[in-house]
Amino acid sequence: MVGIGFLMLGVIVIASWLRWKGRLYDTDWFLRLCEACLPLGFIAVIAGWITTEVGRQPWVVYGLLRTADAVTPSLTGRNVLASLIVYIGVYLVVYPVTLYYLVLLVRAGPLATEEPEQPIEGLQRPLPARAAAGLGAGMERAP
């Protein structure tokens, strides 16, 4: 888990360096690296839970800690049920909204940009949300 955290921090440092050099969006190997890093957050969480549970088990197996004492004392069945309901509620909102937003982006398609007469300050591209809504300055739909 800690190693994955440092790996993700390394990706952030590389991204900052590429951004400083003005090559963040045009470096293919870095974009592939970012795609490969997508599941790392989930893997880190699972690794943390495995470390916690495996760390407990030898004490229980060798009789140094009773199973009843290995359970988190402040966690009740109601707490588990409440957190499960909250997680289900959040995911029932997040997934459909995300899917709706992605469908809007795909339906909007690529946008043709006109070269501005003066350079854009900071050389920043329009945000995807603005592009999907057609709010980007000087933006027209590609044929």
Evaluate if residue 126 carries a pLDDT over 80: no
| Domain membership flag for residue 120 | no
| Domain membership flag for residue 143 | no
| Domain membership flag for residue 138 | no
Please give the backbone phi and psi of residue 139, each rounded to the nearest 5 degrees, phi first: -100, 140
- Structural contact between residues 4 and 44, judged by C-beta atoms closer than 8 angstroms: yes
DSSP category for residue 111:
E
| Domain membership flag for residue 78 | no
- Structural contact between residues 69 and 97, judged by C-beta atoms closer than 8 angstroms: no
| Domain membership flag for residue 5 | yes
Q: Which residues have CB under 8 Å from 139's CB, separation 6+?
A: 111, 112, 113, 126, 131
The model's pTM is 0.47
Structure tokens at 3: 């190693």
Enclosing domain of residue 36: 1-71
pLDDT, tens digit (0-9, with 9 covering 90-100), for 4-59: 999 999 999 999 999 999 998 889 999 999 999 999 999 999 998 888 878 777 77
Domain tally for the chain?
A: 1
- Taking the CA atoms of 130, 131, 133 and 138 in sequence, report the sign of the dihedral they define: positive
**Residue 71 φ/ψ region, left for φ over 0, alpha for ψ in the -120 to 50 degree band, beta for the rest:** beta
| Domain membership flag for residue 4 | yes
77 vs 136, which has greater pLDDT? Answer: 77
Burial class (CB in 10 A: 0-12, 13-18, 19+), 132: buried
Structure tokens at 79: 């707490």
| Domain membership flag for residue 93 | no
| Domain membership flag for residue 116 | no
